Amino acid sequence: MIGVKLISSFRAGMQVVKSAKLRSLSLMLGIIIGVASVITVIAISTGIKAQISSQIRSYGPDIITIRPTSVGLGSGLVRGSDLANFSISNPMILKDIKTVSQATGVAEVAPLTLVSGPVKSSSGVYKPGFVVGTSSSLPNLINQSLAFGNFFTSSPANNGNVAVLGQTAAQDLFNENVPLGSSFTFHGQNFVVAGIFNSFNATPLSREANFNNAIFIPNSTAESLTNDTAPTYEIFARAKQVNQTSIVAKNIAAALDTEHGGVSNLSVSTGNQNIAQNNNILNLLTGLIAGVAAVSLLVAGIGIMNVMLVSVSERVREIGIRKAVGATNQQIRSQFMAEAAFISLIGGILGLALAFIIDMAIRASTYLTPIITWQSVVLATGVSLIIGIVFGTIPATRAASKDPIEALRTE
């Protein structure tokens, strides 16, 4: 019996919504925007977390990263492809690299040393990229293969003015995909291209740079070009045994602290710790932005309440007639609440559809890969429905409290 009454009230609410399409659409608009915003923000955050986790895991479970605690690019962290204007409060030096390599349990080490200066080729100056000094261990440490040529080795004979390029750097420097044997000028010296990396998995908001834009040279050459003043912004290290990675990370941190007189101000992290740190940051950002987006749902709920209060005033005679022919207060209340719930439900569904459209647009136009989860869908649409019911209560209660005689006298 109760189910029949609810269905009847819902049908009556649907009829009223259909009869006032423009008003109903204006009420739905806030719900649509709010639901789409919340789902999209959560989807982007979930997608970025998955991409970053995938990138970090691709390095392997036994990889340890060492960074200065403060690496800045303007007011943010070193991210993306632009490393030209970064700053480090306490850059690592050659002695730090040696300390890491000699720490107990470390199998191999690859520093990332930034060398500033213009890179010139036959195509002109390469502005988007950056030059990084590293060791022969880098490809093995980060599990990155070469598409063409070879990486430089630790042998002095193969460790001079040679370079290995990222995919984008190869194309932009020489307007060709395989410029093996081509040369460019850096710090007044000629460098010969010995290899081209396969495309790196560039992840937005990752703490790693986009190495597709990078030019890699031997770290010894990088230090020689700058008289040992080039800053090392990151060091990769691999533990000899995977199950000892956390212990080796502690050994590295202790060795660096000892070298720096007690406190190194360097961050030593395993892959799992890096994932957790990135996820914590993204969760905070997601919560903040999703909170702002959720405000639009609240505003939409208030809008529904206000417009329905006006609707109650406009439909006083209708309410009086229904009460005169036997409608109870509960039936009147149920009808108005059904209207609000129906508007919110349809708005939530349309907002979900809009979120999927935005998702496809983001995937097509950016490197981001948003992931819409069923939890976010249920949360956003459920909240929109609850908001409709909650904010529809006051107008419904006011409508039910109308005196039928006074209502029928209203013109």
The boundaries of the domain holding residue 301 are 2-52+280-409
pLDDT at residue 109, rounded to an integer: 92
Residue 99 sits in the same domain as residue 247: yes
Q: Is the per-residue pLDDT at 79 higher than 50?
A: no
How many structural domains is the chain composed of?
A: 2
Q: Give the pLDDT confidence of 90-117 residue by residue, as tens digits.
A: 678 888 899 999 999 999 999 999 888 8
Residue 396 in domain: yes
CA 17 – CA 5 distance, rounded (Å): 18
Question: What angle, rounded to 10 degrees, do the helices at 316-324 and 329-365 form?
Answer: 130
Residue 44 sits in the same domain as residue 115: no
H helices of 119-166, in order, are: 138-141
pLDDT at residue 194, rounded to an integer: 92
Residue 62 in domain: no
CA 62 – CA 270 distance, rounded (Å): 7
Mean model confidence pLDDT for the chain: 77
Residue 290 sits in the same domain as residue 329: yes
H helices of 196-328, in order, are: 219-225, 245-259, 271-314, 316-324
Report the run of H or E that residue 10 belongs to, with start and end.
helix 2-19
Residue that is last in its domain, among 213, 232, 264 = 264
Under a CB-based contact definition with an 8 Å cutoff, are residues 44 and 362 in contact? yes
Among 382, 333, 296, 289, which Cα is nearest to 28's?
296
pTM over 0.85: no
Question: In Å, how far from its chain's centre is CA 165?
Answer: 27
Residue 148 sits in the same domain as residue 185: yes
Residue 237 sits in the same domain as residue 172: yes
Residue 217: strand pairing partners: 133
Residue 102 sits in the same domain as residue 44: no
Under a CB-based contact definition with an 8 Å cutoff, are residues 70 and 231 in contact? no
CA 295 – CA 355 distance, rounded (Å): 17
Residue 29 sits in the same domain as residue 111: no
Residue 251 sits in the same domain as residue 290: no
What Å distances lie between residue 162 and 136, 140, 284, CA to CA?
12, 19, 43
Residue 152 sits in the same domain as residue 255: yes
**Residues 346-357, mean pLDDT to the nearest whole number:** 88
Residue 306 sits in the same domain as residue 220: no
